């Protein structure tokens, strides 16, 4: 029986392993989406696939990876078929994944003849084929259009590369050197993580590792229960909308939650959400669960160790066939929009339970833009922009702050211009985009791209163009987004869900993103704060 101190020693080492894996991906990856946008995550799991430790990357990934691994163990690669040196990958949302650009790789770790853990790395790859470069098509109507699907399979089999799979991937994607380079980074990070766990196992033994894992999960569960117990019992409901699915234009998609707090348990009923939609604004359970868990985990003490133990006191009710639990072969590329909105909806409900904790809505959206430039070569740029964070009950929102389900960096303008025939004409805060209130919402952004290649295909997949980020407690909503084409001096709107819009040299695309909602009545805003807003021209 390990004491509380040994548990702490092991927990620390597991965190360090996830951090070492993180550094490995960061430093070795190739594509701008992984290396500059930082769209990847690393984590450590127990022998049954429960998440034990996470890197500080993307909450939407981190809290889906346990789900995917458990799904693989249950239905695709049974427990007994994992061997030393294996690496199993998948990107299939219908096998536990989220959407096709995210390739997840898992490696088992063995010690004293038994499996003691898994390590896992998820990268958002720049392109996995399909009908639009970047594999973020806005108009797909079935998953077969969204790119190459990799069912759970061994890309390394007892240490031997499954060359057929590598060749198959290479043949079906637009930027094979970038994807396979990033995939190599994933495999390198798994090696690093496995080595770190073995170091630990040699010291404590397999039995202690397994016991420590169980105890870490129990402790996270206790911390999560304590956080839920602080919320008053009751059922809290909230509704918000996605604009549409890109196919049935103007038809809002309803997200509704009913959060029931009873003692130290939470039950989240999503039965009131819209049926799944024709376009790719659908989510599978891996995505949906991640959003619900994340919302509640944010309400816990800042010292809470984030692990799968946090999920235990939370029940999610999400009937199949809804937008939050789509049935095969629904397209799901834009699942992130569902998770952003679901998180916002959860927060709207939780505001009623713990009003002192919950901020107003953030921009609630990953502004995904893909440029495929066509000159002598074809290059792909995927950018994911952000907006402003929601005002908090005690302070203003933050201008241009990666919030909620994702956590992306921007790509340096100079890096883009050094590598692609694109010129950024403007990158700035968007005045007046934050919601009014006693506390103002953070500002969104404006970014302009000019096409310098003879031809370019532009794909956009974004939301919050009709339904604004909400304010709370009397605070105002933020501005909605705007996407505009400027050609020969004439501006025209680009639909926010657009595939392969043909652009030519000299065309300019301008994106304006939402800010965050305001908190409290604007009439209560202090004079000094208003004067500061004026001086900084934030309004």
Partner 1 sequence: MEQRPVRIAVDIGGTFTDLQIFDARQGRVVAWKTPTTPADPSEGLLVGVRESAERFGFALADVGLLLHGTTIATNAVLERKLARGVLLTTAGFEDVLEITRHFRRDLYGLAPDPFPCLIGRNLRFGVPERVRADGSVELPLGDLAPVLEKLKAAKPEAIAIGLLHAYANPAHELALAEAVGAALPGIPISLSSEISPEIREYERLSTTVLNAVLMPVVQNYLARLETRLGEGGFSPRIFLVQSNGGMCSLARAAAQPARLLLSGPSGGALAAERLSRRLARPNLVAVDMGGTSFDVSVVQDHRIGLVTQGEVDRLPVRLPMVEMRTIGAGGGSIAAVDASGRLTAGPRSAGARPGPVCYGRGGTLPTVTDANAVLGRLDPDFFLGGAMALDIGAARHAVAEHVGAPLALNVEAAAEGVLRVTNVQLASAVRLSLFEKGLDPRDFSLLSFGGAGGLHATDVADELGITEVILPREPGTLSAYGILFSELVQDLARSRLLRAEPDALPEIEAAIATLREEAVARLVADGVPEDQRATEISADLRYHGQAFELLVPWPEAPDLPALLARFHETHRARFSYAAEEEKVEIVTLRMSAIGRLPKPAETSGTAADKPATPGSRKVSQGGVAAPWPVWRREALHASDVVQGPAIVEEAFATHVISAGWQARLDPEGALIARRTA
How many residues touch partner 1 (CB under 8 A)?
Answer: 90
Interface residue with partner 1, options 153, 198, 222, 522 (CB under 8 A):
222
Contact 76, 95 (CB under 8 A): yes
Interface residue with partner 1, options 394, 502, 524, 530 (CB under 8 A):
394
Contact 193, 53 (CB under 8 A): no
> Least separation, in Å, of the C-beta of 9 and partner 1?
5
Contact 18, 189 (CB under 8 A): no
Among positions 441-470, residues that touch partner 1 (CB under 8 A) are: 445, 448
**Angle at Cα 465 formed by Cα 462 and Cα 470, nearest 5°?**
110
Q: Is 59 in the site for partner 1 (CB under 8 A)?
A: yes
- CB neighbourhood size of 6 (10 A): 15
Q: Which positions ≥6 away from 281 have C-beta within 8 Å?
A: 242, 244, 245, 246, 253, 323, 334, 335, 337, 338, 463
DSSP structure string for 230-280: TSPSEEEEEEEEE---SSSTT--EEEEEEEEEETTEEEEE-TTSPBP-SSS
- Cβ closer to partner 1: 62 or 210? 62
Q: Is 402 in the site for partner 1 (CB under 8 A)?
A: yes
DSSP structure string for 27-85: HH--SHHHHTT--EEEEEEETTS-EEEE-SS-HHHHTTHHHHHHHHHHHTS-GGG--TT
Instruction: Please give the backbone phi and psi of residue 332, each rounded to the nearest 5 degrees, phi first.
Output: -140, 15
Dihedral Cα 215, 84, 189, 56, nearest 10 deg: -20
End-to-end CA distance of the chain: 60
- Cβ closer to partner 1: 426 or 504? 426
> Least separation, in Å, of the C-beta of 458 and partner 1?
20
Interface residue with partner 1, options 135, 345, 370, 410 (CB under 8 A):
410
At 64, list the tokens. Answer: 């889906």
- Cβ closer to partner 1: 19 or 153? 19
Among positions 61-80, residues that touch partner 1 (CB under 8 A) are: 62
Among positions 172-191, residues that touch partner 1 (CB under 8 A) are: 177-178, 181, 184, 188, 191
- Cβ closer to partner 1: 412 or 454? 412
Among positions 352-381, residues that touch partner 1 (CB under 8 A) are: 357-359
Q: Is 8 in the site for partner 1 (CB under 8 A)?
A: yes
Q: Is 219 in the site for partner 1 (CB under 8 A)?
A: yes
- Cβ closer to partner 1: 87 or 386? 386
Q: Write b or e for each residue in 151-169: b if 16 or more Cβ atoms lie within 10 A of its Cβ, otherwise e.
A: ebbbbbeeeeeeeebeeeb
Q: Is 302 in the site for partner 1 (CB under 8 A)?
A: yes
- Cβ closer to partner 1: 145 or 389? 389
Interface residue with partner 1, options 121, 145, 220, 365 (CB under 8 A):
220
Interface residue with partner 1, options 204, 363, 465, 538 (CB under 8 A):
538
Interface residue with partner 1, options 1, 4, 164, 528 (CB under 8 A):
4
Among positions 478-517, residues that touch partner 1 (CB under 8 A) are: none
Residue 86: name the closest of 107, 115, 112 by CA: 107
Instruction: Identify the bridge partners of residue 120 per DSSP, sorted by sequence position.
Output: 43, 106
Residue 61: name the closest of 107, 3, 18, 12 by CA: 18
Per DSSP, 333 falls in state: T
Q: Is 94 in the site for partner 1 (CB under 8 A)?
A: no
Interacting span for partner 1 (CB under 8 A) from 161-169, 219-227, 243-251, 481-489 = 219-227
- Cβ closer to partner 1: 140 or 304? 304
At 160, list the tokens. Answer: 């031997």
Among positions 319-358, residues that touch partner 1 (CB under 8 A) are: 357-358
Interface residue with partner 1, options 18, 43, 100, 227 (CB under 8 A):
227
String of contacts with partner 1 for each residue 422-441, x by CB under 8 A: -x-xxxxx------------
Among positions 26-55, residues that touch partner 1 (CB under 8 A) are: 26-32, 35-36, 38
Interface residue with partner 1, options 251, 401, 455, 522 (CB under 8 A):
401
Interacting span for partner 1 (CB under 8 A) from 2-10, 85-93, 102-110, 158-166 = 2-10
Interface residue with partner 1, options 114, 170, 395, 504 (CB under 8 A):
395
Interface residue with partner 1, options 163, 303, 376, 492 (CB under 8 A):
303
Alpha-carbon span 412 to 36, nearest angstrom = 8
Q: Which positions ≥6 away from 279 have C-beta within 8 Å?
A: 138, 139, 140, 141, 244, 245, 246, 247, 248, 331, 334, 497
- Cβ closer to partner 1: 336 or 429? 429
3-state secondary structure of 368: strand
Interface residue with partner 1, options 112, 320, 417, 524 (CB under 8 A):
417
Q: Which positions ≥6 away from 170 have C-beta within 8 Å?
A: 176, 180
């Amino acid at each position: 029986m390990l004491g509380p101190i040994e548990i702490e020693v092991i927990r620390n080492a597991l965190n360090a392993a996830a951090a070492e894996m993180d550094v490995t991906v960061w430093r070795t990856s190739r594509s701008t989406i992984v290396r500059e946008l930082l769209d990847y995550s690393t984590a450590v799991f127990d022998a049954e696939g429960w998440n034990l430790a996470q890197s500080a990357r993307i909450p939407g990934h981190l809290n889906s990876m346990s789900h995917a691994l458990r799904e693989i163990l249950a239905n695709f690669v049974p427990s007994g078929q994992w061997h030393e040196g294996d690496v199993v990958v998948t990107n299939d949302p219908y096998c536990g994944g989220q959407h096709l650009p995210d390739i997840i790789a898992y490696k088992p770790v063995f010690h004293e003849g038994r499996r003691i853990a898994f390590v896992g790395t998820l990268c958002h790859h720049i392109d996995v084929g399909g009908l639009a470069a970047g594999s973020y098509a806005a108009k797909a109507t079935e998953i077969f259009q969204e790119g190459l699907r990799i069912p759970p399979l061994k890309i390394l089999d007892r240490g031997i590369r499954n060359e057929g799979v590598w060749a198959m991937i290479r043949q079906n994607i637009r930027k094979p050197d970038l994807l396979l380079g990033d995939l190599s980074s994933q495999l390198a990070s798994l090696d690093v993580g496995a080595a770190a766990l073995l170091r630990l196992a040699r010291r404590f033994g397999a039995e202690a590792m397994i016991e420590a894992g169980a105890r870490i999960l129990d402790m996270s569960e206790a911390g999560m229960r304590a956080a839920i117990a602080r919320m008053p019992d009751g059922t809290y409901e909230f509704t918000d909308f996605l604009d549409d699915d890109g196919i049935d234009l103007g038809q809002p998609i309803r997200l509704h939650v009913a959060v029931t707090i009873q003692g130290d348990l939470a039950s989240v009923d999503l039965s009131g959400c819209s049926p799944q939609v024709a376009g790719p604004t659908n989510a599978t359970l891996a995505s949906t669960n991640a959003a619900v868990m994340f919302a509640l985990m944010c309400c816990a003490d800042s010292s809470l160790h984030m692990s799968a133990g946090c999920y235990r006191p939370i029940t999610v009710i999400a009937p199949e066939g809804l937008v939050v639990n789509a049935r095969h072969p629904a397209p799901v590329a834009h699942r992130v929009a569902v998770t952003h909105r679901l998180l916002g909806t959860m927060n709207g409900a939780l505001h009623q339970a713990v009003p002192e904790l919950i901020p107003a809505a953030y921009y609630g959206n990953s502004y995904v833009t893909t440029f495929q430039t066509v000159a002598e070569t074809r290059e792909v740029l995927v950018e994911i922009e952000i907006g402003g964070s929601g005002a908090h009950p005690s302070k203003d929102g933050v201008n241009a702050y990666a919030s909620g389900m994702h956590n992306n960096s921007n790509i340096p303008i100079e890096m883009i211009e050094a590598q692609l025939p694109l010129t950024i004409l403007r990158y700035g805060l968007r005045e007046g985009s934050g919601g009014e209130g006693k506390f103002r919402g953070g500002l969104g952004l404006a970014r302009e791209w000019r096409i310098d290649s003879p031809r370019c295909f532009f794909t956009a997949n974004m939301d919050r163009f009709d339904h604004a980020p909400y304010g709370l407690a009397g605070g105002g909503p933020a501005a909605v987004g705007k996407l505009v084409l400027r050609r020969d001096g004439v501006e025209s709107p680009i639909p926010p869900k657009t595939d392969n819009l043909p652009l030519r040299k000299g065309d300019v695309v301008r994106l304006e993103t939402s800010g965050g909602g305001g908190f409290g009545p604007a009439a209560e805003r202090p004079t000094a704060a208003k004067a500061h807003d004026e001086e900084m021209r934030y309004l």
